[in-house]
Amino acid sequence: MAADTFTSEKHTAHAGIAENTGKKIMTPRERFLRVLKHQPADRVPLDIQGFNNHWSPTVEGWSGFPSTEELSRQDSPKILEILDRLKDKNTIQHCVPTWINRYLVTPPQRIEEVVTGEDRDARYFKRIIDTPEGPLTAQLKRSRDSYGMVWTLKYPVETLDDVKKIRSIPFELPEKLSPVDLKTLPEDPWGQRLIYAYATTPAICAAGMMGMENFLLHCALEPELIRELVDEALERILRILERVLSNRSVDIVWIGGSEWLTPPMASPQMYDELIWQSEKKITDFAHQHGALVHLHCHGNIRSVLPKMIAAGADYTEPAEPPPDGDISFAEAKKKAEGRIVLGGNIELHSIENSSRDEVEKLVCSAFEGNKSAMVLATSAGSNRISFPENMIENYHTMIDVWEKMSLLDQ
C-alpha cells in the first residue's frame, strides 16, 4: 500500500477525527472504558505507549518512561506536535502509588536507596533491605541515555538463607498508601485520564528478588517453597489493593510480569499453579471493588489466552506477532471471540526501525477482523531521551491510519 494512502506531508492536530461522521465524538477515557466494558463506542481506542504516562512515585523509583509533562518540557516541536495530535485521541494513565515491588512486596519503609557511584553512561546505586535477620542488598544502575531505565546487577536474594531473611520482615502497609483523592488531581480538559493501580503478578514478586534462573531452579527443587512465596505475595498485594480500591475511584488494575512463566518459559502446569490462580484472585477482587483488569503480557500468549479469558480479565496487550510473540492479531481476535479486549499489535521496534510504508501496512493489518474488541496500541513506550526523525514520522503514520480506520458502528 502506498505511503500517501493515509498520510500527507503536513500533519494537522485533529484532522479527520470528526469529518462528516454524524456520530457522537467520545473522549479518549470514555472510548477506552466503553470498549473494555463491551459497550458501543465511536472508535477503536488508541494507546500509543510512551505518550500515555502520568507516573506517581513507586519504590522502584522510576517508571523508565517519560511522563507527558516531561515530554511537553522538551525543546522539540516535533514531539509537541505528536502530543497535540494525541490530546483528543490517546488516554493518559494516572497511576495511584501502590508500592508493590518485586522484593516479595516488602514494605518500602524497609528499603533504603543509596547512590554508590556514577560514570558517563549510568548512575550506580544499591537498595538495602532491612530485615530482622540482617540486611539484604541489591545493586543496580540507572542509564543516562534513557529515561531512567534501571538494570539489576545483583539480586538481593541469592541463597535459601536470604529467602528466610526477606520473609522475616513483618508485613505492614506502605506508610503513604492511600486511595486517590480525585478532587486533588489536575484538570483533564480533553478527557484523557484513566486512574490506574499497578500490581505485579505475585509469582514475579518472588522471582524478581532472586532472578529468573534461580527462581526456575527453585521451582524445580523447592516447589512447595515457591508456592508459599507466591501465596505470601498474593496476600500482601490484596491487602494493598483493598486500601487503594476502597473508595472505588480506580478505573483499572494493571497486572504485569506473567511472561516470565508463559509456556515455553515454564510448563502449562506451572503457569496454572503460579500465574493463573493468583491472577484470577486479583481479578475477582478488583471486579468486586469496581475496577477493570488489564493483563500485560509480552511474548507467547497463544496457549494462555484462554486462561486469561477464564480468569475474567477485561483487557490484555500487547498480543505480539511472530517472532516476538506466537500469534497474529487477527488470529488472536478469532481465538478470543470478543470475550476479552485485545491491545496491539504494533511493535516498538517497528516504530523505531521500519519505513513509513511498512508501519502503514502493519497498522492497517491490525484492523483486520473484529474491531469492536480491540485497542490499537504499541507494544511498549520508548525510553529514549530524544526521537529520531523516522520515529516521529512513524508515530504520525500510526495516528493517520487510526483516524481513517478506527470508526465503529455504534
pLDDT score recorded for residue 59: 36
C-alpha cell at 390: 523516522
pLDDT one-digit tens code per residue, 306-362: 999 999 999 999 999 999 999 999 999 999 999 999 999 999 999 999 999 999 999
Q: Do the beta carbons of residue 52 and residue 43 sit within 8 Å?
A: no
Residue 208 is classified by DSSP as T
Count how many residues are written for the chain: 410
Q: Which domains, and CATH codes, for the chain?
A: 3-103+171-405 (3.20.20.210), 108-158 (no CATH)
The pTM score is 0.90
pLDDT score recorded for residue 79: 84
pLDDT score recorded for residue 57: 41
pLDDT score recorded for residue 105: 98
The whole-chain average pLDDT of the chain stands at 90
pLDDT score recorded for residue 146: 67
pLDDT score recorded for residue 395: 96
Per-residue pLDDT of the chain (410 residues; tens, 9 = 90+): 344 444 444 444 444 444 445 567 999 999 999 999 999 999 999 999 988 876 444 434 334 455 556 565 555 788 889 989 999 999 999 999 999 999 999 999 999 999 999 999 899 999 999 999 999 999 999 888 766 678 999 999 999 999 999 999 999 999 999 999 999 998 999 999 999 999 999 999 999 999 999 999 999 999 999 999 999 999 999 999 999 999 999 999 999 999 999 999 999 999 999 999 999 999 999 999 999 999 999 999 999 999 999 999 999 999 999 999 999 999 999 999 999 999 999 999 999 999 999 999 999 999 999 999 999 999 998 877 778 899 999 999 999 999 999 999 86
Q: List strands edge to edge, sheet with 122-129.
A: 111-118, 122-129, 136-143, 150-154
Q: What is the DSSP string of 40-87?
A: --SB--EE-TTSSEEPPP-TT---SS--HHHHHTSS-HHHHHHHHHHT
Query: How many angstroms separate the CA atoms of 405 and 399, rounded?
Result: 10
Q: Do the beta carbons of residue 160 and residue 151 sit within 8 Å?
A: no
pLDDT score recorded for residue 62: 38
